[in-house]
Structure 1
Amino acid sequence: MNFADSASLVGQKVQGLFSVEKGGQKIADVVIIKGSTYAPVRAISEAAGVSLTVEGKKIIVEETSGTVSTSAPTAQTVDEKLIALKAKAESTSKEIEKVKATIQFYDEKVFPKDEKAISMAASEAMKQIEIQRSEENKAAYEKYKQQLADLQASLVEINAQIAELQK
């Protein structure tokens, strides 16, 4: 990819966010834009055991004798982390909105329908079936509420990481 190709990616929508692992340990997040994967070069090179140096607009990767570079992250890797975190924040926000809509659906449609079905049951057996269904709906509802709380906590953590990188 040449510079002109990469410049055309500015402002493009991130289509996916994936985690790269080595030996069960997360080493980096990568993003998918226009069907191509973009990864932080330094993190990948360090995990592969190769050295990386930057000279102007040129990144030089060389094999090492098993040593891993511990140099401070460059502005580019910080920018890459910010892009990945912002994409993750956007994705998490969208998931929060979906879960909120599901909770609202339960509040406005499912629970009133359950109450009506219980009150209109023709027999005690039917009433017990409707009560059971209502209890299952309440359990599902509670799972959605817990999922919402978890997503909101995750978003707070992501936003804190973004704020830390922007310092």
Structure 2
Amino acid sequence: MKKKIIGVIAAALLLGSSIGYAASSSLIGAKVTGLFTIQKEDGTKIADAVIINGSAYAPVRAVSEATGASLTVKGKTITMGSKEAVAETGTTVAEPVATLEASVDTAKLKERVTALESRVKLFDDAIAKEDANFYLMETPDQQESAKKFIEDLKARRAEASADLADIKAQLGE
């Protein structure tokens, strides 16, 4: 009988400690205390961020694209590569990706071209979809909101197209 009681107590302690640890290390069930918009200095919206337990959580891909950083995902590791250097004056100065081999640099540029072409196509698809849905809007407020959203998509598509043209020019295409 004593062995059963000791076994039940040991199991309860082990189970209770693992539940306590999981609750302290997870965001599941955590309360969102705020919602913020991330935007560039020119007012272009990048993404929305939430505040949980005093920390801001934002989509990594949106932030990396907005800053021009490369993003690599391998397994459960996300790596952001820097494509900008901060000068001593505190201003941001664009500089090419520093690599020892030109072939590595060219491969990265071609990878960026592929990503930007995909992004432009996604914007084209989203614009076409919103244009098709525009006439289904019932109220003038909904139509005005849809117009603004379509204009924002077009502006973001133009930025991606300009970046794509710049990189293709670097590659000599």
TM-score, normalised relative to structure 1:
0.44
Higher RCO (C-alpha 8 Å, min separation 6): 1
